[in-house]
Amino acid sequence: MVACADDVLWLRTKHRIVGSLEGSHPANPLQNNYFGLPLFLMPEETALLIERDAICIEGDKFEWPQSERDQLRFKLFKDLHGRGFFVTQGIKFGGEYLLYPGDPLRYHSSHIVSLVDHGQTVAARELITLGRVCTAVNKIRLLSSWNPHTDHITHITLNWSGF
């Protein structure tokens, strides 16, 4: 949790870390369209900042990733963030992450990212569903998979187009 506005600005401008504002505005606490401080970070964002020695955790220890799925998510997050994207939660659109080409305050997300297990067969029906969802919200689906043999992430874009 980040409670200082200057720290939130520093995270956003220097590290492309967006987090999620969860607080209410004192002047209008009952509305839920716009949120304020504090800022909560995804575990991936926190782990990346710790790995870069950009932050330190006070109090309780931060132990993440805990599962194999968490490790894959972190590798994917680092890969996407390393390519220059702003990365946020993608659950709203049925994905792992949303990718933004610039600051989400100025840009719309361009991709919905789905993490697919290496070697997993994706049914045609699921591909159609993923494509249609992206078309409905004007985004591109990015199917990402980590190859344990090469220690590399592969990305495939899926874009629905009518004929």
- Read off the tokens for 99: 């990718």
Please tell me the distance from the alpha carbon of residue 152 to that of residue 145, in angstroms, as a whole number.
Answer: 8
Contacts of 92 (CB under 8 A, 6+ apart): 98
Question: What's the Cα-to-Cα distance from 53 to each of 3, 5, 35, 93, 135, rounded to whole Å?
Answer: 19, 20, 28, 32, 39
Q: From the candidates 139, 149, 152, 155, which is the catalytic residue?
A: 139
* Residue of 108, 118, 152, 155 marked catalytic: 108
Q: Does 29 sit behind a cis peptide bond, omega within 30 degrees of 0 on the bond before it? A: no
Q: Which of 100, 118, 149, 152 is catalytic?
A: 100
Residue 57 DSSP code: -
Cα–Cα dist 80/152, whole Å:
12
Active site residue 100: yes
* 139 belongs to the catalytic site: yes
Q: Look up residue 79 and give its two tokens.
A: 């890969």
Euclidean distance between the first and the last CA atom of the chain, given in angstroms as a whole number: 48
Question: Annotated catalytic sites, by residue?
Answer: 100, 108, 139
